[in-house]
Structure 1
């Protein structure tokens, strides 16, 4: 009888950073890496109330150059190195209404969060990875990089498309030097913020949560698997990608969308 693979401690001795790691998908990723034995650092603007005391928190504003520089310095000073970088930070708060309502500020803020923050962090942590000829960088993108929603999140979609392209280019440069670079593009994830959005939709349209959820899935063109992802679904795959089991994987974008994107 074949013994099941033991995932415990497969990341033992590794030091990992998860940006935006205090809630939602980022929190699930941080907990998954911790369960695999990694020393896990998370960063966000504000410290959360409920966080595993084994996870290290560093406050930072990654939309600011200084915030990124300070984070890199603090991690390398306190932990000596970084083995795994998960660029999970992202999001959009631009108004709906299409291109005409979007100001330069909307574009600039969205690109700072979703593209330039990962670029700056990669630039900060790559030298020590290249020196050791070891490391994994993973960019959390979005299916909107391929399937943009023009009415409400066009800057976000454009930034994520740029992140996917950048990730591929970076992998070509640093993979021959020992550092793997990957991108993961999730579809709709049922985070706490998504649940609250469903509650608002249900209340305003006088429908049930289930009907509100179905209406969003319909707006996406349908999700063949029949439901949004859970944060843990994404975290489990990320845990595999950064592990030694995925040592031959680099330069690839992995779509996790339940079949949402209708093309090959």
Structure 2
């Protein structure tokens, strides 16, 4: 008989953590997992502007070791376990101008946020996953791990490339112990911050927001599907990957970029 899953309750009884879960793709992922029946914890430095009482919020700066430890301790104390870890947090705040303007602090801060934070959280939650022989870890990387943009995001691209490599290595170690590890690498996502950026470009260049969006897509070499991703596009992929339906998937990077990367 064919096995069937209820998509609405397939994560019932699961405890999930989504870092950077207060906005953008992280918010969409958290809401998608909540809809599937999981108990969802979100973290960020600042409280969400739109509060959802069904999401458990822990304020923390995950770029610092004490911030990641705070989250690990709080979740294990309250729930006793973590089943799903979505390392979504990612940030690039370096200035434009290429390699010459990037300081050691730019590199160190970016690597701590985009690479060391997931590593520390994995290390904090993996022992109890291994003890139970079950768990899923998702690393949200970026197509910049394969298609770096050098002007202002080179440290971010390098950190995400490192995250992709680390994720693959970790999967080889822990998959035999029952833990699935996967990477999701989005292209350009039309988040609220991206919309604001398009508005700024449009105003400064005296063009429409649509023309500004096309200019960014052209800078990426084009998006064959004709539009950026919506946060919900990424959330649906993650929702599938953490579900029982994806039980045979581990160690793989899933690129969701509308065809942006031009090579195989």
TM-score, normalised on structure 1?
0.98
In structure 1, stretches of 5+ residues that fail to align are: none
Alignment of 1:7-86 (within 5 A): 7-86=7-86
Matches within 5 A, 1:116-127: 116-127=116-127
Aligned-pair distance for 1:152? 1.0
Which residue of structure 2 aligns with residue 181 of structure 1?
181
1:258 aligns with 2:258: yes
Deviation by residue 1:25-68 (Cα, 9 ceiling, x = unmatched): 00000000000000000000111131211110011111111111
Q: Secondary structure at the match of 2:40?
A: strand
Report the equivalent of 2:112. Answer: 112
Q: Which 4+ stretches in 1 moved above 3 angstroms?
A: none
CA distance in 2, matches of 1:5, 1:227: 32
Equivalent residue of 2:43, what SS? strand
Q: In structure 2, what is the Cα distance between the partners aligned to 1:13 and 1:35?
A: 13
1:229 partnered with 2:229: yes
- What displacement does 1:126 show? 0.1
CA distance in 1 between counterparts of 2:214 and 2:5 reads 37
Match of 1:156 in 2: 156
CA–CA distance in structure 1, aligned partners of residues 111 and 135 of structure 2? 25
Q: What do the CA deviations read for 1:146-205 (whole angstroms, capped 9, x no partner)? A: 000011100000000000000000000000000000000000000000000000000000
Rounded Cα–Cα distance in structure 1 between residues aligned with 2:140 and 2:171: 15
The alignment of Structure 1 onto Structure 2 pairs a total of residues equal to 262
What stretches of structure 2 of length at least 5 have no aligned partner? none
Classify the secondary structure of the residue corresponding to 2:259.
coil
TM-score, scaled to structure 2: 0.98
Q: CA RMSD in A?
A: 1.1
Instruction: Name the CA distance, whole Å, in 1 between partners of 2:244 and 2:170.
Output: 20
Q: Secondary structure at the match of 2:190?
A: coil
- How far 1:5 sits from its partner (Å)? 6.4
Secondary structure (helix, strand or coil) at the match of 2:31 reads helix
Q: Distance in 2 between matches of 1:140 and 1:64?
A: 19
Which whole-Å CA distance do the structure 2 matches of 1:93 and 1:104 have between them? 14
Asked if 1:128 corresponds to 2:128, the answer is yes
Distance 1:5 1:83 in 2: 18
